[in-house]
Structure 1
Amino acid sequence: MSVGTPATQFLRKADIAFEPVQYDYHPGQERVALQAAEAVGIAPDHLLKTLMLEVDGHPACVVVPGDRTVSMKRAAAAFGGKSASMMPSDKAERITGYRTGGISPFGQKRKVPVIFESTAMAFTQVGINGGKRGLILLLSPEAARAALDARALPLCAEN
């Protein structure tokens, strides 16, 4: 499958192995990450969602399991800030160059700091958005983290 996005170009340039998987994206669903995990055939905690935040007014990116909720308190602390909130969709689209529902941590238009949820590093393979709606990239979470020069810290609220 020849799928070209800034995310796949970024990974190819970094020599990171990945497998692209396309699925039928259904906008407007309440839990898009869970729908994507089911469509791709992986466990919901293995499908990592990419969320754009504002930490003390500065853009930041977190990559967390699709079945978990980010603790804004933990996220702020992880980035060395006092407060964190979800970035408005229009701003996230301008900064990343991707449409909401297709935001990838790879190949963003503007480089921002990225932190992965630490529990995701325990998996052999995860799915991460490939830069367009309906495209998931299967790859090693450690390779993904290293390619982005990201850290892995606890970011999610306790279940």
Structure 2
Amino acid sequence: MENQKIEIRKLKLSDTLQLAKLANNKNIWNNLRDYIPYPYSESDAETFINFTQTQDPPQSFGIECNNELCGVISLIIQNDVYRKSAEIGYWIGQPYWGNGIATKAVNLITHYGLKKLNLIRIYAGVFENNIASMRTLEKNGYSKEGVFRKAIIKNGKTLDEHRYFILSKNQE
């Protein structure tokens, strides 16, 4: 995908069909939290899009490549003493894998979180078998903080979680 234009933008109800089509994929769900449904229906997509439209400030975005919705990326701002931290989560639809889209989207939302939302820290938990996501984070300056041994149960398997983080330049 040469000369690709990658952006993150608010999701719209007109994204419902494409979002449902892309998210209804076991290969994607295998690396996501269980609260995200599988199978993923148009109703699930519509509910999620409506939820994102209530966020203030916006925290969840569609990832667009060449004017096509190809994934979702979010910052989950934490509470209480963690209020200047956020967890990043993202996925790219399988037809778009291997094109550097996630790397650019992580760059965009990291900049948004650290500069616009004035976060101090953004972190990610990555399932042990998701090497591509680990590389995406590393390419964006995230450092591996540690491995939480046998911290995740997914598809009946107990997995390690690799934890990555990045700090605002003021905090390094």
- What TM-score results when the alignment is normalised by the length of structure 1? 0.31
Question: Greater CA radius of gyration, 1 or 2?
Answer: 2
Q: Which has the higher contact order (CA 8 A, sep 6+)?
A: 1
More helix by share: 2
More strand by share: 2
